[in-house]
Structure 1
Amino acid sequence: MEPILPTSEPSYQFSNHYAAHQYASADNPSSSSKRYPSKNVRLVPGNILSIDYPVPNAIRNSVQAKYKDIAGHNEEFLMMRYTAAACDPNDFTLKNGYNLRPNMYNRHTELLVGVTYYNEDRVHFCQTYHSVMKNVRDIIQLKHSEFWHKGGPTWQKIVLCLVMDGIGPCDKRVLDTLAMIGVYQDGVIKREVDGQDTVAHIFEYTTHLSATPNQELVRPTPHDGDSALPPLQVILCLKTKNSGKINSNRWLYGAFGRILNPEVVIHIDTGTRVRHRSLLKLWEAFYNDKDLGGACGIIHPLMGSYMEGILNPLIAAQNFEYKVACQLERALESTTGYLSVLPGAFSAYRFRAIMGRPLDQYFQGDPTLDLTLGSNGVSAGSLMRLNRFLADDRILCSELVSKEGQKWHTRLVTSAEAETDIPTSTVDFINQRRRWLNGSLSASIYSLRMSYQLLRTSHNIIRMVLLYIQLLYNVVTLILAWFSLAGFLLTTFVVNDVTGDPPPDAPVDGFPFGKATPIVNAVIQIVYITTVVFQFILALGGRPKSHVRTYTTSFCIFAIVQLYLLMNLIYLSKRLIDFKTNTNGGGSYAYINEYYSEIGSTTVIVTASSAFGIYIAAGIISLDPWHLLSSWAQYLFISTSYVNILKVYAFSNIHDATWGRKSDKEVNEEVIQSTILSPPRGSDTSKTPRGDVNAQEMEHPQEDADKIFEEVVKRALQPHQPVEVKQVNTREEAFLKFRTTLVAVYIFSNFLLCIIVMNDSFQQLWWLGDAYWHKIWFFRIWMWGNSWLLMMQFAGCVWQRMDALRWWCFSRR
């Protein structure tokens, strides 16, 4: 492959968005190309506008000789096909006159890779696109395969579909990159077809070219041999308006999927970098398990070329969170056969498995279907229903596993890995988790409520038992998560009181400040409670972007309190060991042993082993323990903020059921060339015997396309410079009553738990005993609950590793 490097001083400068006259520059006589005469274009029956445009000679010449004129389909390398879809995705059918090149060439599509795009820059786009191209090459380079080398060339069985959610938010540099590889051309998209507005602009081209995140154009050369990038069938769907990710997936499944009928569909978010052979590993999981309906790989946060992201505590904490989630939580869910979430950043589904009810329920979250669905539309639903579609991938998982009469299951494929970008600032982090937490809460309640549907499936008895064990696990997780606000507060206050305020008859002073420790603890308690209350005020009264320093300070306060708590826990452990071994004056710490004995030695040992030992053991078993050294400490310091800041903000803004995308851009509607569908005066207006209608289209000679291409390449290969844009966020003001009720119940229930445990005025409650035993019973329940969840996850981790070994030994290639 030969990379074409950008020049150090490009002569062409351009802004983030094209102006109206630039957008149609291909037909503007004052631009680089001159105006050419028009020609009549016959519409496909059904008045479908589909036109082939010649690609620039530079792109034609990049096609390797061995791929030219394959089975008479040479036009897929010479011509870019454009289709103006003036219809809903459900109406994009063969019956209505629409078609796609792979189907026109009678090719079987085994793997459909869907990449969803909103407003990401070209660096994020290129790292996703280039990683897909290299993974396709991995599949083609297989030496021994029972499947891929049968029934035609391997590359003809793979299709990449790029779905861009609206022209307005789209980064024009990304379109320049797509034009540089032949998939897109300026000046050909149409506003209307036969008087109907164009809903989506569909471009098709089979390209050999790729672009790296460093703005290098990669093309095959005669000396590359098998190392050259193979042809890739690309479908670009550029939606006219921004209508959401669920609508983008309607185009992927409801429009393109029904025509291509692939076996496996892989989802990738723009910005995700797929690692070596990971697409192949995901596909192999389906190939070796006929009952596998969905799967996902392991997702790693992008940490930078030299792991410099570790220096940011927020990134390091998320790195630990991602690692632990895959090694423990996802491993347990994979063991039972029900992954509660298949992340859209990198996941896959068997197409026929999710057709029917799973997709029908999922697509109810598309706002463009509100008129069609009526009361079942997303806008007509309750607030919990609206938030449920923020966790849209959870809905698909639940409906897939519980599909009536079927026995589909989901699993984690540990050999398939990808890297994705994560929030690096407190504002983006809070906004992302607002959507995640509210969506997962609503989706979890929905899956529990619909659990009876499992009885209608064809799962065997062992699978059914495992699935209902996981349901019990999910219930316990939901309860503990709800009371986590009180749990962190009580743990902090009680542990600090035990170490800092020994009984009057104890021969030792409080730790760590002696007799002044109770005063310091009281100050910490006041600061802690004040900061928590202040989070509700911030969350109810403003957006994170307006209080960046305040939220950053809050993260720091909770980190300091957590550090103080960890220091006291270490002190308690040390003094307890001294008491048991009667060393270092251990007899002076009998009061610590009293708490230890009342809570129960088994409870304390199991909790300590679970909280620390399971993370270490899981990392070693998974052969990936390095996050324990690089990110564990940062996660411990920020863990309190996950509840006290993120969850408080999420619940306080549950009425905001919008996606809250990262780094939103101003939406500027571009001016699009309209097609003149009525014939000019004096022309023959009679219809053909087939009822076809003629439209006027301007000719695009080859020399014109080459000249425009030169300008596109100059722009596309310019060094990337991030552009600062003003954010425009919209906020729903409805559902405030529900928000108020939820926040009130959340505060009251956690506050009531704190009062029962901490307030000595409750002399006796018959089910708990006196106030002293309130603390004992709280710690028993809290510690055993969390320990049970961790032990369940560890059991899943062990089984997952054994299952991965079995797959490595016996799976088909």
Structure 2
Amino acid sequence: MRDSEKYSLASSNSSGLAPAWPISPIPTRHFGPAPAGRVHRRNKMMKLKTVPLTNGNVVVDLDCPPKLVKVLPTVGGVQHGEHGEMYKMRYTMVTSDPDDFARQGFFLRQNEMRRTTELCIVITMYNEDEVLFCRTLYGVMRNISHLCSRKNSRTWGQDAWKKVVVCIVSDGRKKIHSRVLDVLTLLGVYQPGPHMKTRFNDKPVTAHLFEYTTTFGLDANLHFRYPDKGVVPTQILFCMKEKNQKKINSHRWAFNAFCPLLQPNVVVLLDVGTMPTPKSIYHLWKTFDLNSNVGGACGEIAAYKGKYWYSLLNPLVASQNFEYKIANILDKPTESLFGYISVLPGAFSAYRYIALQNDERGVGPLASYFKGEVLHGRDTDIFTSNMYLAEDRILCFELIAKSSHNWVLKYVPGAVGETDVPDTLPEFISQRRRWLNGSFFAATYAIAHTGQIIRSGHSAGRKFVLMCETLYNIINLIASWFAIGNFYLFFVILTSSLESQFPDAQFLRYWNAFIQYFMGGLVVSAFLVSMGNNPKAAKWKYMTLTILFGISMAYLLFCAIMAAIRASTQGDSAYSIMLFSIIVTYGIYLFSSLLCLDPWHMLTSFLPYMLLSPMYINILNVYAFCNLDDISWGTKQDTIVDADLGAVIQNSNSQVNLEVLADVADADEMYEESLSNIRNRKPIVKKPKSPPVLSAAEQEAAAKDYYASVRTNVLLAWVLSNGCLLALILGGGDPASTFAQNNTFTRTKAYMTFILAFVALTSLVRFAGSTIYLIARVFTG
């Protein structure tokens, strides 16, 4: 019988999971360090182990639990448990800042084994659950298996797993989900116990580093997957940060602490919850291998649709699916053709490590990227604070504008990563607040620093192309600024058009007056609700607004259809322009999707996207601009160092006496306990949150007043400029007369013609770029 059959978690019981060996009744208490509500179990016997310091640091190799060793699969007649990296897990008590990791004598097992690293896959997580974690990690394992299966590659092959390091960085010891720790325990990567401390001598521990090479995985259904299912050994670094310091700090651990020791060729960034398809990481890597000037690349971010696409029944998920698909079909290929993708999504992207390095003066992409970490709180101007809500956009710009270099960014359609998207309105609004504010100010930063592109090492032709893209971005930025005004303007024009089509229906005039004032009231309501209301606290207010905007959009679509019918039958010039714009815009969506052989989103997600589009324009934009002074990610950083794990003191012989488990049976019991936790998956009781401790900077009234003042100024400029646009176009005239006066060139008709032509032209530019990109791929591969 195969190992995978002997020790599989799958069974026929109701839970779908069962241990393969008999286990004793599991106590309700959890043994281990403090994270996520776990408590030490005092009934276990401890012993002191004398551990010599390594370069002045605590580094200890811990034996894997015997039950884990028994299930280590056999490949090629050799049991992996016989090798040290599978038989022992290494724990390092890190007391340095990420930037000083190597300088303070810390090292990795890959350095000891003298292995070269081609790929470093960085997975960042906060408090995601075990299903999302396993979905991502197992997806990575399948990608590594594909690298090992390639037989004609100069880089990859049977032992390709030795060239790949998976670096998992958890943002805060007390934030990580307890069942994720159970999963890591089952894989052999993590061992709780008394060896973990919060202080070493007089230094606080900044991170707990675990190193292990696991030989099996757990899929998203929490079933064990062994080599007979295609899993190969996976080198894992698990860095559990002591404090919660945001995702950008996790990236600093990866880029500034671990990568300088690993010296990878390519670094892949993943968020927990994003699952790369089996060949995605290879496709990303191949782009760097084929093109020496590619500094960064991204694949297609796809919305996770669930089994049988069940999640698309949620209109919010369906609208995001359509939005993502159109961006990947039209926008990303066009930007890739220019050589500058405005943002490589942090959820799934890759960078050439040497391209990110700073110069001798410390100036470069990584230096600019990590400025966002120290600019938290209210200790900087509001422009910079909001700009670094989208620090990945800053990294992309600094990479292509790097002095004396000619790095470009590429889109790789074959690299697909499925990610969980917000399925509730409050979560969606909070996410887009960060995206919209960050992207707006980051785009302004890129436009303002266009001179850096001129000073870069790009050829004259490439610089010209990048200048054209900058101009295109400026036009789009202006269009997004006036989006709310243009939406209301077209709502008034299209609804009024019915009056000219049915001149005898007097009730239409009264109905349209009501519906237009009603739409204006909805916009005003969005402003009032967005001022100082958390989306979670005002969930039903936002839900009501979204539904009413959707109903109004349905009426608008009806008016547009009627206008299109009149254009096709009577040939009215204004209606003809409208019909042409609609056919070009939505025809391009359909035709380009067919060219990419991926049209299904047009059937499943187009209508929800159309009905929710007023919410995108009005609620999301209004909430974002009304909360410019909110520069948080929705989580606060830890400012207090915990001491709940105790301390360890160095003795005079450059050694430490470290507590470890005295009986190997205790390690087995911990392993069985993690297995039981994953099998039963009992609800976790959350501890009540203690009142937040505000930093001195956050308590300064002057800083708060400054942020509120700038927020008000920007909001006033936005509202007044859109109001002036409406007054200029609609003032002094009846919108319905635009459609009655076929021979009169009114202001409203002129502006409508301009906007419709602009929309059609930008759609054609996107379609041309996407088509040229597809043709180029046919010849270049």
Query: In 1, distance between residues paired with 2:90 and 2:532?
Result: 51
What does residue 323 of structure 2 align with?
321
| Contact 1:480–1:785 (CA under 8 A) maintained in structure 2 | no
What does residue 590 of structure 1 align with?
none
The residue identity in structure 2 corresponding to 1:250 is R
The residue identity in structure 2 corresponding to 1:774 is R
What does residue 181 of structure 2 align with?
175
Change in CA separation of 1:667 and 1:708 when aligned onto 2, cut-off 3 Å: farther
What is the CA distance between 1:209 and its match in structure 2?
Answer: 2.0
What is the CA distance between 1:19 and its match in structure 2?
Answer: 8.5
1:574 and 2:565 correspond: yes
Change in CA separation of 1:541 and 1:212 when aligned onto 2, cut-off 3 Å: same
What does residue 412 of structure 2 align with?
413
What does residue 112 of structure 1 align with?
120
What is the CA distance between 1:761 and its match in structure 2?
Answer: 7.0
What is the CA distance between 1:725 and its match in structure 2?
Answer: 8.2
What does residue 649 of structure 1 align with?
623
Query: In 1, distance between residues paired with 2:216 and 2:622?
Result: 47
Superposed counterparts of 1:337-356, under 5 Å: 337-356=339-358
Query: In 2, distance between residues paired with 1:17 and 1:617?
Result: 58
Change in CA separation of 1:333 and 1:40 when aligned onto 2, cut-off 3 Å: same
What does residue 789 of structure 1 align with?
762
What does residue 701 of structure 2 align with?
none
What does residue 146 of structure 2 align with?
138
Query: In 1, distance between residues paired with 2:302 and 2:456?
Result: 34
What does residue 509 of structure 1 align with?
503
1:84 alignment partner, one of 68, 86, 93: 93
Query: In 1, distance between residues paired with 2:427 and 2:80?
Result: 50
| Contact 1:757–1:771 (CA under 8 A) maintained in structure 2 | no
Query: In 2, distance between residues paired with 1:452 and 1:89?
Result: 32
Percent identity (aligned): 33
What is the CA distance between 1:609 and its match in structure 2?
Answer: 3.1
1:36 and 2:46 correspond: yes
Q: Partner of 1:436: helix, strand, or coil?
A: helix
Query: In 2, distance between residues paired with 1:143 and 1:338?
Result: 34
Query: In 2, distance between residues paired with 1:700 and 1:24?
Result: 21
Query: In 2, distance between residues paired with 1:633 and 1:23?
Result: 44
1:550 alignment partner, one of 536, 541, 544: 541
The residue identity in structure 2 corresponding to 1:141 is S
| Contact 2:80–2:86 (CA under 8 A) maintained in structure 1 | no
What does residue 708 of structure 1 align with?
670
What is the CA distance between 1:162 and its match in structure 2?
Answer: 0.2
What is the CA distance between 1:128 and its match in structure 2?
Answer: 0.5
What does residue 423 of structure 1 align with?
422
Query: In 2, distance between residues paired with 1:450 and 1:394?
Result: 13
What is the CA distance between 1:139 and its match in structure 2?
Answer: 0.9
For each residue in 1:256-285, what CA deviation from the matched residue of structure 2 results, as whole angstroms up to 9, or x when unmatched? Answer: 000000000001100011112111111111
Q: Partner of 1:4: helix, strand, or coil?
A: coil
What does residue 263 of structure 1 align with?
265
Change in CA separation of 1:439 and 1:295 when aligned onto 2, cut-off 3 Å: same
Query: In 2, distance between residues paired with 1:642 and 1:307?
Result: 23
Query: In 2, distance between residues paired with 1:336 and 1:418?
Result: 23
What does residue 282 of structure 1 align with?
284
Query: In 2, distance between residues paired with 1:160 and 1:494?
Result: 56
Q: Partner of 2:421: helix, strand, or coil?
A: coil
Please report the TM-score for the alignment, with normalisation by the length of structure 2.
0.90
The residue identity in structure 2 corresponding to 1:348 is A
1:5 and 2:10 correspond: yes
Structure 2: where are the runs of 5+ without partners?
19-24, 359-363, 699-703, 736-742
| Contact 2:61–2:90 (CA under 8 A) maintained in structure 1 | yes
What is the CA distance between 1:453 and its match in structure 2?
Answer: 0.6
The residue identity in structure 1 corresponding to 2:633 is W
Q: Partner of 2:299: helix, strand, or coil?
A: strand
What is the CA distance between 1:606 and its match in structure 2?
Answer: 4.5
1:155 alignment partner, one of 156, 161, 164: 161
What is the CA distance between 1:558 and its match in structure 2?
Answer: 1.0
Matched residue count: 744
Return 566-575 or 159-168, whichever deviates more: 566-575
What does residue 205 of structure 1 align with?
212
The residue identity in structure 1 corresponding to 2:253 is W
Query: In 1, distance between residues paired with 2:580 and 2:473?
Result: 21
Change in CA separation of 1:236 and 1:71 when aligned onto 2, cut-off 3 Å: closer
| Contact 1:652–1:743 (CA under 8 A) maintained in structure 2 | yes
The residue identity in structure 2 corresponding to 1:790 is S
Query: In 2, distance between residues paired with 1:386 and 1:806?
Result: 44
What does residue 708 of structure 2 align with?
736
Query: In 2, distance between residues paired with 1:725 and 1:610?
Result: 55
What does residue 456 of structure 2 align with?
457
What is the CA distance between 1:435 and its match in structure 2?
Answer: 0.5
The residue identity in structure 1 corresponding to 2:124 is T
What is the CA distance between 1:611 and its match in structure 2?
Answer: 1.7
Change in CA separation of 1:275 and 1:700 when aligned onto 2, cut-off 3 Å: farther
Please report the TM-score for the alignment, with normalisation by the length of structure 1.
0.86
| Contact 1:73–1:105 (CA under 8 A) maintained in structure 2 | no
The residue identity in structure 1 corresponding to 2:440 is L
What does residue 371 of structure 2 align with?
364
Query: In 1, distance between residues paired with 2:36 and 2:274?
Result: 31
The residue identity in structure 2 corresponding to 1:779 is M
1:634 and 2:640 correspond: no
Query: In 1, distance between residues paired with 2:661 and 2:639?
Result: 31
What is the CA distance between 1:252 and its match in structure 2?
Answer: 0.4
The residue identity in structure 2 corresponding to 1:622 is C
| Contact 2:387–2:441 (CA under 8 A) maintained in structure 1 | yes
Query: In 2, distance between residues paired with 1:420 and 1:791?
Result: 29
Change in CA separation of 1:726 and 1:565 when aligned onto 2, cut-off 3 Å: farther
For each residue in 1:83-136, what CA deviation from the matched residue of structure 2 results, as whole angstroms up to 9, or x when unmatched? Answer: 01111000100x421100111110000000000000101111111111111111
| Contact 1:140–1:155 (CA under 8 A) maintained in structure 2 | yes
What does residue 675 of structure 1 align with?
647
Q: Partner of 2:372: helix, strand, or coil?
A: coil
What does residue 361 of structure 2 align with?
none
2:509 alignment partner, one of 518, 531, 555: 518
What does residue 170 of structure 2 align with?
164
For each residue in 1:18-55, what CA deviation from the matched residue of structure 2 results, as whole angstroms up to 9, or x when unmatched? Answer: 885997867x442xxx323212211122x211111001
What is the CA distance between 1:708 and its match in structure 2?
Answer: 1.8
Change in CA separation of 1:669 and 1:305 when aligned onto 2, cut-off 3 Å: farther
What is the CA distance between 1:716 and its match in structure 2?
Answer: 2.3
| Contact 2:217–2:225 (CA under 8 A) maintained in structure 1 | yes
Superposed counterparts of 1:204-243, under 5 Å: 204-220=211-227, 224=228, 227-243=229-245
The residue identity in structure 2 corresponding to 1:659 is W
The residue identity in structure 2 corresponding to 1:212 is D
The residue identity in structure 1 corresponding to 2:429 is I
Change in CA separation of 1:771 and 1:739 when aligned onto 2, cut-off 3 Å: farther
The residue identity in structure 2 corresponding to 1:297 is G
The residue identity in structure 1 corresponding to 2:615 is S
What is the CA distance between 1:325 and its match in structure 2?
Answer: 0.5
Superposed counterparts of 1:11-22, under 5 Å: 12=26
What is the CA distance between 1:714 and its match in structure 2?
Answer: 1.2
The CA RMSD over aligned residues, in Å, is 2.9
The residue identity in structure 2 corresponding to 1:261 is Q
Q: Partner of 2:253: helix, strand, or coil?
A: helix
For each residue in 1:678-736, what CA deviation from the matched residue of structure 2 results, as whole angstroms up to 9, or x when unmatched? Answer: 54xxxxx3x4xxxx343443355433322221112111232475878888998975611
What is the CA distance between 1:667 and its match in structure 2?
Answer: 12
| Contact 2:189–2:212 (CA under 8 A) maintained in structure 1 | yes
| Contact 2:329–2:596 (CA under 8 A) maintained in structure 1 | yes
Change in CA separation of 1:20 and 1:464 when aligned onto 2, cut-off 3 Å: closer
| Contact 2:121–2:166 (CA under 8 A) maintained in structure 1 | yes
Change in CA separation of 1:428 and 1:17 when aligned onto 2, cut-off 3 Å: farther
Return 563-572 or 785-794, whichever deviates more: 785-794
Structure 1: where are the runs of 5+ without partners?
371-376, 503-507, 581-592, 680-684, 764-769, 809-813
2:305 alignment partner, one of 303, 324, 335: 303
1:191 and 2:165 correspond: no
Query: In 2, distance between residues paired with 1:253 and 1:14?
Result: 40
Q: Partner of 1:53: helix, strand, or coil?
A: strand
| Contact 2:265–2:353 (CA under 8 A) maintained in structure 1 | yes
The residue identity in structure 2 corresponding to 1:473 is Y
Query: In 2, distance between residues paired with 1:304 and 1:515?
Result: 49
The residue identity in structure 1 corresponding to 2:538 is H
